[in-house]
Amino acid sequence: MIDVRVPRLPLLLLLSLLLGGVSGCSGQSTVLGTWWWPSLDPDRTGEGELDGGRGFEVRGFATRVLTDTLPARDYLGIMFVSSKTTVSCLSYAAYLDSLAETQRWFDSVTSLDISAEERPSNAQILGYVCQSISEASREAFGDTGAYRGLHLIMDLSDGGPLETGEFSAAEKGSAADQLGGAELLAPSTYVGRFYERSIHGQGVLPDLAESSNAGDFDPVVACPAIFSSLLDNSAGFPDPDVPVLNAAAHRYYHDYESQTSLPFNGGALNVLNAVVAREYGQLATIGSDVSPTVFLEVAGAVDSFPYEQILMSTQANPVAVEPCPELAEAMPFVWSEVASLGWETELLVPEGDDDDSAGDSD
């Protein structure tokens, strides 16, 4: 059985919690904790215990889209975002839209014959892509442009998980040894993906592993190397068609653990192994609270990195999630691989939530 130790928090954040707590009111933040599952190690004792790392504050946004297909698919997208400066719905949507525009430019120019006069050189293409990523991230997140973003996609095509509001992780099945993407989605489940625009685990790793990411590429300064590597070898990633997005941040991909609840701190607190959104039907229109507990698989770290999996959870504390319809256009970009489920680029964005599915307050 998995046992989860209490994570550490930065001192200033810990003081703020002790003095007044992190409010769940709209527009404010909640702490998302991190726990790390060590890679296989024959000398490791206490198998099943996760090492507690640091937590960080996040803001939540939600959008909902219907695919213009037959049959239509109904997707709910939830994003938890963290950076040194306050991130808004509009600033995060603008960031993703900017990267998507750069991706379209890249696809256009690289489709030209290599000898075409209007085709930029490879060096010019690389320079433009990396400059665009840097400018978009600095504009959205300030300072160096570093940020963290946990993205979740849920399938509501069956109406959702009714009165429970509990979305379980999509199972990986025969793909258990592969990096998982939105192709795993089934009704009333979620798929997660975490973006980290820094070296792996910077500032949130457990004490014993704080230097284990030495030599890792930092997306803030190593875009040319990361982008070139993605172009040369994207095999094994579920989202190879969006190298611009993937060069902007390291990714942690969806993972699945069958244990239905997780004992934190020796069983003092048991938390559902799920994304709990009791009022999911109104998240994208008027907002509500969400309590995420999500497992993800580490991807692209240096060989010396000692962890293969990360658990992210608010330990049942709610994050106030606000509606952000502007993020609807970014959904096919972030979840490009969901095309296999019938995704079209033309999206129907619900203007209101008129159904009476569970999760609505009426």
Per-residue confidence in pLDDT tens, the chain, 362 aa: 566 655 544 433 333 333 333 333 445 679 999 999 988 643 434 446 789 999 999 999 999 988 877 778 899 999 999 999 999 999 999 999 999 999 999 999 999 999 999 999 999 999 999 999 999 999 999 999 999 999 999 999 899 998 899 999 999 988 888 899 999 999 999 999 999 999 999 999 998 888 899 999 999 999 999 999 999 887 789 999 999 999 999 999 999 999 999 988 777 889 999 999 999 999 999 999 999 999 999 999 999 999 999 999 999 999 999 999 999 989 999 999 876 555 554 444 555 544 444 444 44
pLDDT reported for residue 29: 72
CB of 271 within 8 A of CB of 316? yes
Q: Is residue 356 in a domain?
A: no
- Per this entry, what is the length of the chain? 362
Instruction: Give φ, ψ of 306 to 5 degrees.
Output: -90, 5
Q: Is residue 359 in a domain?
A: no
> What distance in Å separates the CA atoms of residue 191 and residue 338, rounded to the nearest whole number?
11
Name the β-bridge partners of 195: 149, 251
The pTM score is 0.87
> What distance in Å separates the CA atoms of residue 16 and residue 200, rounded to the nearest whole number?
26
Reference 191, options 181, 178, 201, 206; nearest CA is 181
CB of 309 within 8 A of CB of 296? yes
Q: Is residue 237 in a domain?
A: yes
Residue for token pair 């284990």: 212
> What distance in Å separates the CA atoms of residue 251 and residue 226, rounded to the nearest whole number?
12
Q: Is residue 171 in a domain?
A: yes
CA atoms within 13 A of residue 334's CA, in its CB half-sphere: 28
Name the β-bridge partners of 153: 77, 191
Q: Is residue 276 in a domain?
A: yes
| Total structural domains within the chain | 1
Cβ neighbors of 41 (< 8 A, separation 6 or more) are: 306
- The 3 state secondary structure assigned to 136-166 is HHHHHHCCCCCCEEEEEEEECCCCCCHHHCE
Provide the domain limits for residue 188. Answer: 3-348
Query: Could you tell me what percentage of the chain is helix, strand and coil, using 3-state DSSP and rounding each to the nearest 5?
Result: 25, 30, 45
Q: Is residue 357 in a domain?
A: no
pLDDT reported for residue 40: 61
Q: Is residue 298 in a domain?
A: yes
Q: Is residue 120 in a domain?
A: yes
Residue for token pair 């297909």: 69
